[in-house]
Amino acid sequence: MTRTVRAAVLPAVGAPLAVTEIELPDPGPGQVRVRLAAAGVCHSDLSLSDGTMRVPVPAVLGHEGAGTVAAVGEGVTRLSPGDPVVLNWAPSCGSCHACTLGEVWLCANALNGSADVYARTADGTDLHPGLNVAAFAEETVVAESCVLPLPADIPLTDAALLGCAVLTGYGAVHHSARVRRGETVAVFGVGGVGLATVQAARIAGASRIIAVDVSAEKEGLARAAGATDYVVASDTTPREIRALTGKQGVDVAVECVGRAVSIRAAWESTRRGGRTTVVGIGARTEQVTFNALELFHWGRTLSGCVYGNSDPARDLPLLAEHVRAGRLDLTALVTERIALEDIPVAFENMLAGKGGRALVVF
């Protein structure tokens, strides 16, 4: 048996998304069918569509979503129809080298499912699930490992953001940079992940949070999330940040853009002995250079950060508690609620540096 649902299909790398009907099979052994309530439009989806990141095509993109279990396949015991869930696009296998070290965010097999055929178009063309979960669709069928129970009392639509933006931003602050109470933090890029990072820095007790973005219009969003200062990105950004921090630089800089110029600016804005964490996904052509003397002299730590160095199964209940307590405001990350047909416009807005998170609401 199959079900016909609407989805945003990427026909080929660089091609525009096409909203069309697809044929979705019933869940097989170990699989779950989820009826989507909402899906966030992440910059990673844009990177997949333009070829910055590779994905088998044709594909249904979307990896940040939440919904309700509609049906389960044979052998699924921890979920039942009607359960609210969050999609987990990077499930850990538990047995590769990274997993045995407890670094589940680096699982070597996490994205294996992206190569599978999970659905077909009306004319019979095979479709792949972009980043495993294919959330840009009314419904999806995923492996049980790609579904996490949503803790009680969390609004289902807003919960979509927990699947990527919030796990990434919160993890960058608490797991990667390990921000301590009273430290100063600069966040480069105030999109969905950047706004989540600002909120996470506030939750961590940072004494000063400096938000940096190319758009002056995002200052209100950044300050509402917890930023104490706002800097419009320019060639003088590191100098401005040092001026705000007693000429020292911040203890921690988190780069959420993935551009060589902003990575370099984040590095230069960090104090001697401080930590610079790169969250943004950049292109292979973006080259960042350092000379040997400055690496020695500044004594800074520069680190990459994958999925916030998070363990979704461990961290989702913690994030839910922050939401219940009012410390984490999911609604504040969303600047527009859109339909499937509006995803290309959301991509354009990201390229232009506009807004926070666009949320597809079904």
Could you read off the pLDDT of 198-209 as tens digits, one per residue? Answer: 999 999 999 999
pLDDT of residue 262: 97
Q: What is the CA radius of gyration of the chain?
A: 20
CA distance 115 to 278: 27
pLDDT of residue 223: 98
pLDDT of residue 87: 97
Write the DSSP symbol of residue 26. Answer: P
CA distance 84 to 273: 44
Beta-strand ranges (E) seen in 123-183 are 126-129, 139-143, 147-149
Count of C-beta atoms within a 10 Å radius of residue 90: 23
Spans of the chain below 70 pLDDT: none
Task: Write phi, then psi, for 353 (nearest 5 degrees).
Answer: 75, 25
Cα first-last separation, the chain: 23
pLDDT of residue 274: 98
pLDDT of residue 55: 86
| Burial grade of 334 (CB within 10 A; 0-12, 13-18, 19 or more) | buried
Beta bridge partners of 191: none
pLDDT of residue 89: 96
Region of 326 (left: φ > 0; alpha: ψ -120 to 50; beta: rest) is: left
Task: Write phi, then psi, for 236 (nearest 5 degrees).
Answer: -100, 10
Buried b (16+ CB within 10 A) or exposed e, 216-232: eebbebbeebbbbbbbe
pLDDT of residue 54: 86
Angle at which helix 260-268 crosses helix 237-244, to 10 degrees, equals: 30
Q: Which of 176, 189, 215 is nearest to 282 (CA)?
A: 189
